[in-house]
Amino acid sequence: MITNLGDGNVTTIVNNAADVEISGLELELTAQISRGRSGFLNTGFIDAEFSDFTVSDSEGNPVDNSGLELRNAPESTLNVGLDYYLPMGAIELGLHYNYRWRDEYHTILNNDERGLVDAGGFHSSSVDLNWGEHFTHQCLRPQQWRRALCPGDPHWHQHVWPVQPA
């Protein structure tokens, strides 16, 4: 917490919780849809709150924060996406789409509504081009096959240039 001391001076006061209860569940799924196409789903559910947390206010009076939600801990999250890799000779084109959603969460220790961040969803996509060159030109393969066909190859150089729309 940042506290204004007056005269333009501020200080940071660190509050340590005496006891926190956290329980949750996470699920991660990945599917190989077809050659070069895959998808994934990640979701999480968390219940995180202070179970015993007393702090002092600016005048030294004790304030019981037990039962408040932890900061920056949304109750649920979801992430889904698709990846497509297209081998084109010695190069590989990658197309990626991702949707991420997270529940509302608090950013202020005492769960003041001014620090409540609304739930939100975010789309992102990217395109990348991978290619590589072996010094001896003996094992030139697209990135997705490199590890299987050239294991432990110390001479492999990978070049990745991601492009993301603004």
Q: pLDDT at residue 140 above 50?
A: no
What pLDDT, in 10s, does the model give residues 67-112? 999 889 999 999 999 999 998 887 889 999 999 999 999 998 888 9
Residue 23 confidence (pLDDT): 95
CA–CA separation, 131 vs 156, rounded Å? 10
Q: pLDDT at residue 163 above 80?
A: no
Burial label, 123 (beta-carbon count in 10 A; 0-12, 13-18, 19+): exposed
Q: Which position has the higher pLDDT, 64 or 160?
A: 64
Spell out the domain ranges in the chain.
Answer: 2-160
Torsion sign over Cα 108, 110, 114, 119: positive
CA–CA separation, 59 vs 73, rounded Å? 29
Q: Which position has the higher pLDDT, 151 or 14?
A: 14
CB contact set of 18 (below 8 Å; sequence gap of 6+): 52, 53, 54
Residue 45 confidence (pLDDT): 98
Q: What is the pTM of this model?
A: 0.64
Q: What is the mean pLDDT of residues 105-128?
A: 92
What pLDDT, in 10s, does the model give residues 15-74? 566 688 999 999 999 999 999 999 999 999 999 998 888 887 778 788 888 899 988 999
Contact 3, 58 (CB under 8 A): yes
Residue 54 confidence (pLDDT): 84
Residue 3 confidence (pLDDT): 56
CA–CA separation, 18 vs 44, rounded Å? 25
Residue 5 confidence (pLDDT): 61
Contact 52, 18 (CB under 8 A): yes
